[in-house]
């Protein structure tokens, strides 16, 4: 992988107008976008700018074709059996909410979560517990923040309807053993949903091989436009589910008192969609496939290994997650005892134009359970370089001396 050539595809990484490029280490929040994605979005607005599936004119037909091409592209990206299993959403949050509000729940049904779930995979189930009498069980992690399969097995019984886990935690970059989880859950008669917002940008996923029932991802973390995402679901399950959002484009016909819903995926894609975003998301998936996930993981691991080695000796610095950087992907999350995490992030920005994330990273439950106010998260992607990591390490060393 030629990193310098790849970096030329990302305008924000280029110098210009007397302004230095950013050192972008906030990729777990949102990735940068390459020219291929920017141009795909712009091309829709410049050359098509019509509705899909509604208008018979040639512009409408062109958009309809582009959207279905994008659906087929995301089917290939995830290894789904058929393109009708790909539902376009605004983000992972909407995908999870769709499942939570479309499955037929009974009072006493149980949902199992981990103790590190993003609010997107926690709050929808809390609302379901309030409204439908569903019970939530939390599976604790091992002391090093890795997944505890034994604890998970102990939580399973005949009442567990669904296990919903972040495939990779945005807190610390640790991935769950998804294939083992699916097998164990299915033996117990439970479905499995994976929040792949943090895994889809960084690793090859094959939903057929995993045999996972549902998987949600966001475009904005994988080079795609904001406000785009995908929910994958096994077609047999999608057929039985009631649509969450309804209205235009979800029905084949209606009367004043009845309606006939379209089959999946259309019955879950209510209203006019973000066609430019969908086309841009497909372009992002193609870009990632061209780079190659082996090369992506190798670059992230090299950077995280360097940061782990260089920063472990900083006085008072506490790493969140396992010590082995290979278990944390491109994420290095830490806090310095007695120092506000927002202060550290602001100083990195002001001193060296380094972008990181500070706070509780939408995992408030984990921090609150441990009495921690927050942390700083440096998250690398394949376009980050070892030189940038060196600047980050040197800047943090200077900051520690000051504070």
| Cα–Cα distance measured from residue 310 to residue 314, given in angstroms and rounded to the nearest whole number | 8
Do residues 384 and 390 lie in contact, with contact meaning Cβ atoms separated by under 8 Å? no
Q: Give me the mean pLDDT over the 25-45 stretch.
A: 98
| Cα–Cα distance measured from residue 360 to residue 114, given in angstroms and rounded to the nearest whole number | 16
Q: Give me the mean pLDDT over the 43-55 stretch.
A: 87
Helix (H) / strand (E) element for 76: namely: helix 58-78
Q: Is the pLDDT of residue 308 over 90?
A: yes
Q: Give me the mean pLDDT over the 182-207 stretch.
A: 98
Sequence-separated (6 or more) residues with CB below 8 Å from residue 41: 225, 276, 277, 279, 280
- Residue 56 pLDDT class (50, 70, 90 cuts): confident
Report the length, in residues, of the chain.
Answer: 403
What is the model's pLDDT at position 90?
97
pLDDT single digits (tens) 129-171 = 999 999 999 999 999 999 999 999 999 999 999 999 999 999 9
Q: Give me the mean pLDDT over the 355-376 stretch.
A: 97
Q: Locate the domains of the chain by residue range.
A: 3-29+293-402, 38-290
Q: Is the pLDDT of residue 17 over 80?
A: no
| Cα–Cα distance measured from residue 171 to residue 165, given in angstroms and rounded to the nearest whole number | 13
Do residues 283 and 36 lie in contact, with contact meaning Cβ atoms separated by under 8 Å? yes
End-to-end CA distance of the chain, in Å?
A: 39
Q: Give me the mean pLDDT over the 340-355 stretch.
A: 96
CATH architecture of residue range(s) 3-29+293-402: Alpha-Beta Complex (3.90)
Tell whether omega for the bond before 82 is within 30 degrees of 0, i.e. cis: no
**Sequence-ordered alpha helix ranges (H) in 116-176:** 123-132, 149-155
Q: Give me the mean pLDDT over the 93-121 stretch.
A: 97
**Sequence-ordered alpha helix ranges (H) in 203-274:** 207-210, 235-240
The CATH number that domain 38-290 falls under is 3.40.640.10
- Residue 18 pLDDT class (50, 70, 90 cuts): low
Q: Give me the mean pLDDT over the 358-364 stretch.
A: 97
What is the model's pLDDT at position 333?
98
Q: Give me the mean pLDDT over the 385-391 stretch.
A: 97
Active site residues: 362
Q: Is the pLDDT of residue 15 over 80?
A: no
Locate 117 and state its tokens. Answer: 């779930």
Q: Is the pLDDT of residue 58 over 90?
A: no
Lookup result for tokens 């997107």: 120
Backbone angles phi and psi of 337, in degrees to 5 = -55, 130
Q: Do 3-29+293-402 and 38-290 show the same overall fold?
A: no
Q: Give me the mean pLDDT over the 380-393 stretch.
A: 97
Do residues 127 and 134 lie in contact, with contact meaning Cβ atoms separated by under 8 Å? no
Do residues 225 and 274 lie in contact, with contact meaning Cβ atoms separated by under 8 Å? yes
Q: Give me the mean pLDDT over the 338-362 stretch.
A: 96
- Residue 112 pLDDT class (50, 70, 90 cuts): very high
**DSSP helix/strand/coil, 256:** coil
Return the CA Rg of the chain: 22
| Cα–Cα distance measured from residue 164 to residue 72, given in angstroms and rounded to the nearest whole number | 26
- Residue 269 pLDDT class (50, 70, 90 cuts): very high
What is the model's pLDDT at position 164?
98
Angle at the Cα of 28 from the Cα atoms of 395 and 309, rounded to 5 degrees: 40
| Cα–Cα distance measured from residue 317 to residue 400, given in angstroms and rounded to the nearest whole number | 9
What is the model's pLDDT at position 387?
96
């Amino acid at each position: 992988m030629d990193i310098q050539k790849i970096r030329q595809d990302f305008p924000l990484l280029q110098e210009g107008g007397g302004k230095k490029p950013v050192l972008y280490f906030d990729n777990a929040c949102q990735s940068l976008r390459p020219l291929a994605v920017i141009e795909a979005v712009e091309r829709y607005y410049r050359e098509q700018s019509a509705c899909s599936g509604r208008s018979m004119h040639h512009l409408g037909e062109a958009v309809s074709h582009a959207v279905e091409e994008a659906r087929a592209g995301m089917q290939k990206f995830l290894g789904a059996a058929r393109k009708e299993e790909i539902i376009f959403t605004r983000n992972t949050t909407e995908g999870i909410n769709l499942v939570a509000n479309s499955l037929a729940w009974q009072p006493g049904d149980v949902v199992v979560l981990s103790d590190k779930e993003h609010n997107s995979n926690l709050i929808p189930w809390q609302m379901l517990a309030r409204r439908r009498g569903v019970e939530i069980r939390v599976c604790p992690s091992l002391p090093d923040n890795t997944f505890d399969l034994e604890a998970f097995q102990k939580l399973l019984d005949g009442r567990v309807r669904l296990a919903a886990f972040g495939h990779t935690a945005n807190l610390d970059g640790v991935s769950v053993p998804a294939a083992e989880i699916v097998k164990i859950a299915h033996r117990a008669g439970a479905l499995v949903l994976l929040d792949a917002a943090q895994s889809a940008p960084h690793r090859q996923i094959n939903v057929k091989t995993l045999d996972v029932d549902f998987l949600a991802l966001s475009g904005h973390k994988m080079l795609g436009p904001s406000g785009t995402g995908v929910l994958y679901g096994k077609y047999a399950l999608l057929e039985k589910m009631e649509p969450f959002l309804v209205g235009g484009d979800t029905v084949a016909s209606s009367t004043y008192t009845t309606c006939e819903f379209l089959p999946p995926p259309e019955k879950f894609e209510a209203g006019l969609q973000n066609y430019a975003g969908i086309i841009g998301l497909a372009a992002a998936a193609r870009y990632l496939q061209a780079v190659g996930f082996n090369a992506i993981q190798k670059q992230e691991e090299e950077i995280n290994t360097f940061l782990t080695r260089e920063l472990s000796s900083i006085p008072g610095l506490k790493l969140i997650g396992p010590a082995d950087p290979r278990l944390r992907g491109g994420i290095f999350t830490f806090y310095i005892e007695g120092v506000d995490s927002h202060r550290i992030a602001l100083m990195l920005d002001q001193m060296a134009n380094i972008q990181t994330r500070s706070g509780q990273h939408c995992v408030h439950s984990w921090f609150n359970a441990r009495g921690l106010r927050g942390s700083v998260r440096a998250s690398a992607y394949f376009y980050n370089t070892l030189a940038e990591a060196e600047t980050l390490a040197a800047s943090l060393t200077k900051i520690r001396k000051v504070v």
